[in-house]
A and B are shown apart, each in its own frame.
Chain A
Amino acid sequence: MLYREAGDFKTTYKADSQTFPIAFDRWRYWAVLAVAWLVIPFFINDYWANAILVPFLIYAIAAIGLNILTGYCGQVSLGTGGFMAVGAYAVYKLMTVFPDVSMLVHIVLAGAITAVVGALFGLPSLRIKGFYLAVATLAAQFFLVWLFNKVPWFYNYSASGQISAPERFVFGQAVTGANTAPAAQYLICLLFVTICAILARNLTRGTIGRSWMAIRDMDIAAEIIGVDPLKAKLTAFAVSSFFIGISGALFFAVYLGAVEVGEAFGINKSFLVLFMCIIGGLGSIFGSFAGAAFLVLLPVALKVLGADVLGWPTQIVSHLQLVFVGGLIMFFLIKEPHGLAQLWRLTKEKLRLWPFPY
């Protein structure tokens, strides 16, 4: 009954265009933030951090990044894995070359480097769209993985060809390396998720977000209204890659600690993040979170249900996971192409009228 906009009159345009126009939503948003920042860090353990929360947060950043490009600007990209690898290798090089600089700076710089690389690979989007662009970004994916495998400078000539994160500190707390506390892992990811989500929301609700969406919906009309397609598409690629680079950096440095590029950042990763965007909802920041949560939680939930509760062999359970996820993606594409975010929106619209839906 609290979910109402009736009686909540907006008297300024600022109030009218805020992110959560309904008071209940605003409270829920602050409550989620408060729990995430003030409660979870005290209760988090190794299992929750490594199996659920840290991957969820990192994938949420990647999904926000891809959603900006694909959901808001309409440019399909299959290069996410490659761009995450750029972030990972950038942060690795920065960490080893400048060991004394704060990890926070390194991660942001890794994002910036990825943004430049992303804009570079976004250049073909000025000429081609749709499937053809997807194939062009696929080329980026394979090229980048090949590059990081072939050029030893990127992995500091290590014998295994892997990169592994040395121990680095933020405010005296180890955030990378073997001695990192789960809470530290979680908090640094949460910090970047919070910042990225707010930045993404601000960008997408302003002028630049509208020019992205205009390009997505009708590029000819966008141009006639004054959108420079070059600028709009390249900024979308750059901003999207910035977020994806940050997520790649966190994925390597904070989550895995050591990666082999083809395994960690292969084409599978590109598809996984794309599925998160599709299932969560293209063109929605909330959808990025929902999609990331869904695809991180689903395998865990299936594993707990199949292996621990029902006692099935783990192999069968892991195969069933694939079948199940594939089936769900098809189900979503057919039944709700706008994803979980749209289901959420519909629920909210119903709630507004509840219990008198007329």
Chain B
Amino acid sequence: MKDIADSHVTADGRTIGGVLMDMRGITLRFGGVEAIKDISFDIREGEIRAIIGPNGAGKSSMLNVISGFYNPQEGEVWFRGEKRPPMKPYQVARLGIARTFQNIALFEGMSVLDNIMTGRLTHMKAGMLAQAIWTGKAEREETENREAVERIIDFLEIQAIRKTPVSRLPYGLKKRVELARALAAEPKLLLLDEPMAGMNVEEKEDMSRYILDVNDEFGTTVALIEHDMGVVMDISDRVVVMDYGRKIGDGTPSEVRNNQDVIDAYLGVAHD
């Protein structure tokens, strides 16, 4: 096991702390199919960790294991120095892990504001009776959380659309609102499943900037899956590479780029 206390400062002045999440020997099977085969890696506090790999490599399954959708048949998930028992997704959310989805999973019938407010759910404690009567506590809580949400709205520059129903928004903005909803939970670990899928260059640049800012300003640890290699190599501190459910590379972007297995997986290799 790696040394937890081992922290360092990156070239651009961010502090990378100890291990936040440690995946140990994760194996996930669907019937006879092994989606993930004995994978171990860790995510350190404050870093941007990318998971890459060709289609069907098991990246999204990995994210689903972290967020509690799937419970792996073998292996252990350690979070903040404690072994995590099998949990339901909503329990994982309460530990401080938030995520976005590959296909946008916003609440289409609600306004942008309500969507993001829903992200604050784990911070709101007023009981049902208090809410029904809308007593001091429920109202105060609503206002306090609204303030937190407004900070995120400012941060992601979506002030103009806060009262718009989500179903009316274009794709790029929906992605941003989904990020806002995840951020509203003030997560310790933010999981992004292809945050830039289907975006044009400008939108990708915006999104990259937001991810870097989130990491820098809030100190949020980010784990992301992305197919755009340029973006991945630019913004991430360390990269895990998966192929056919196995881990074939792990390291800084430049290490991964020069890894022969990774090159083979992406470019194909002559079978002679």
List residues of chain A with CB under 8 Å of any chain B CB.
12-14, 17, 199, 202-203, 206-208, 210-211, 213-214, 216-218, 220-229, 235, 239, 283
User: Quick check: B118 and A210 within 8 Å, CB to CB?
Assistant: yes
Per a CB cutoff under 8 Å, which of A14, A206, A220 touches B131? A206
User: Quick check: B132 and A202 within 8 Å, CB to CB?
Assistant: yes
Contact A221-B101, Cβ < 8 Å, known A17-B146, A211-B121, A216-B109: yes
Interface assignment of B181: CB less than 8 Å from any CB of chain A: yes
User: Quick check: A225 and B181 within 8 Å, CB to CB?
Assistant: yes
CB distance from A225 to the nearest CB of B (A): 6
Interface assignment of B89: CB less than 8 Å from any CB of chain A: yes
- Tell me the nearest residue of chain B to A229, going by C-beta: B90
Per a CB cutoff under 8 Å, which of A202, A213, A227 touches B110? A213
* Interchain residue pairs with CB less than 8 A apart (28): A13-B143, A199-B132, A199-B133, A202-B131, A203-B128, A203-B132, A206-B131, A206-B142, A211-B121, A213-B109, A213-B110, A213-B114, A213-B118, A214-B107, A214-B118, A216-B107, A218-B105, A218-B107, A220-B105, A224-B67, A224-B69, A224-B105, A225-B121, A226-B90, A226-B93, A226-B122, A235-B128, A239-B128
Residues in chain B near residue A199, CB distance under 8 A: 132-133
Sample of 18 more A-B contacts, CB < 8 Å, known A206-B142, A207-B124, A223-B88:
A12-B143, A199-B132, A202-B131, A202-B132, A206-B131, A207-B141, A208-B131, A210-B110, A210-B114, A211-B118, A214-B107, A214-B118, A220-B69, A224-B67, A224-B99, A225-B119, A225-B185, A228-B88
A203 CA / B141 CA spacing, docked (Å): 14
Residues in chain A near residue B124, CB distance under 8 A: 207
User: Quick check: B121 and A221 within 8 Å, CB to CB?
Assistant: no
Instruction: Name the prevailing secondary structure of the A interface residues.
Output: helix
Contact A206-B126, Cβ < 8 Å, known A17-B146, A224-B89, A225-B181: yes
CB distance from B163 to the nearest CB of A (A): 9
Q: Which residues 102-132 of B have a CB within 8 angstroms of A?
A: 105-110, 114, 117-119, 121-122, 124, 126, 128, 131-132
Residue of B119, B132, B133 ringed by the most chain A CB atoms within 10 A: B132
Interface assignment of B14: CB less than 8 Å from any CB of chain A: no
A283 CA / B128 CA spacing, docked (Å): 19
Instruction: Name the prevailing secondary structure of the B interface residues.
Output: helix
A344 CA / B93 CA spacing, docked (Å): 38
Residues in chain A near residue B117, CB distance under 8 A: 210
User: Quick check: B90 and A13 within 8 Å, CB to CB?
Assistant: no
- Tell me the nearest residue of chain A to B184, going by C-beta: A225
User: Quick check: B107 and A223 within 8 Å, CB to CB?
Assistant: no
Residue of B117, B118, B139 ringed by the most chain A CB atoms within 10 A: B118
Contact A225-B98, Cβ < 8 Å, known A213-B110, A218-B107: yes
Q: Which residues 143-201 of B have a CB within 8 angstroms of A?
A: 143, 146-147, 150, 181-182, 185
User: Quick check: B105 and A17 within 8 Å, CB to CB?
Assistant: no
Interface assignment of B94: CB less than 8 Å from any CB of chain A: yes
A12 CA / B150 CA spacing, docked (Å): 12
- Tell me the nearest residue of chain B to A21, going by C-beta: B163
A207 CA / B146 CA spacing, docked (Å): 12
Per a CB cutoff under 8 Å, which of B118, B143, B147 touches A225? B118
A203 CA / B133 CA spacing, docked (Å): 8
User: Quick check: A217 and B109 within 8 Å, CB to CB?
Assistant: yes
Residues in chain A near residue B147, CB distance under 8 A: 13
A199 CA / B132 CA spacing, docked (Å): 5
Residues in chain A near residue B134, CB distance under 8 A: 202, 206
User: Quick check: B93 and A225 within 8 Å, CB to CB?
Assistant: yes
User: Quick check: A207 and B121 within 8 Å, CB to CB?
Assistant: yes
Residue of B89, B94, B117, B147 ringed by the most chain A CB atoms within 10 A: B89
Residue interface bits B55-88, CB-to-A below 8 A is 1, else 0: 0000000000001010000000000000000001
- Tell me the nearest residue of chain B to A242, going by C-beta: B132
A52 CA / B184 CA spacing, docked (Å): 47
- Tell me the nearest residue of chain B to A19, going by C-beta: B134
A214 CA / B99 CA spacing, docked (Å): 15
Residues in chain B near residue A213, CB distance under 8 A: 107, 109-110, 114, 118
A227 CA / B114 CA spacing, docked (Å): 14
Contact A218-B89, Cβ < 8 Å, known A206-B138, A210-B121, A226-B122: no
CB distance from B224 to the nearest CB of A (A): 16
Contact A226-B121, Cβ < 8 Å, known A14-B139, A221-B101, A235-B128: yes
Residues in chain A near residue B106, CB distance under 8 A: 217-218, 221
Residues in chain B near residue A13, CB distance under 8 A: 142-143, 146-147, 150
Contact A202-B90, Cβ < 8 Å, known A210-B118, A217-B109: no
- Tell me the nearest residue of chain A to B181, going by C-beta: A225
User: Quick check: A223 and B90 within 8 Å, CB to CB?
Assistant: yes
CB distance from A111 to the nearest CB of B (A): 12
Residues in chain B near residue A222, CB distance under 8 A: 107, 118
- Tell me the nearest residue of chain A to B127, going by C-beta: A208
CB distance from A67 to the nearest CB of B (A): 13
- Tell me the nearest residue of chain B to A211, going by C-beta: B121
List the 9 closest A-B pairs by CB distance, nearest first: A226-B93, A221-B105, A217-B107, A226-B122, A202-B134, A206-B131, A13-B146, A223-B89, A207-B124
CB distance from A345 to the nearest CB of B (A): 10
Residue interface bits B200-237, CB-to-A below 8 A is 1, else 0: 00000000000000000000000000000000000000
A207 CA / B117 CA spacing, docked (Å): 8
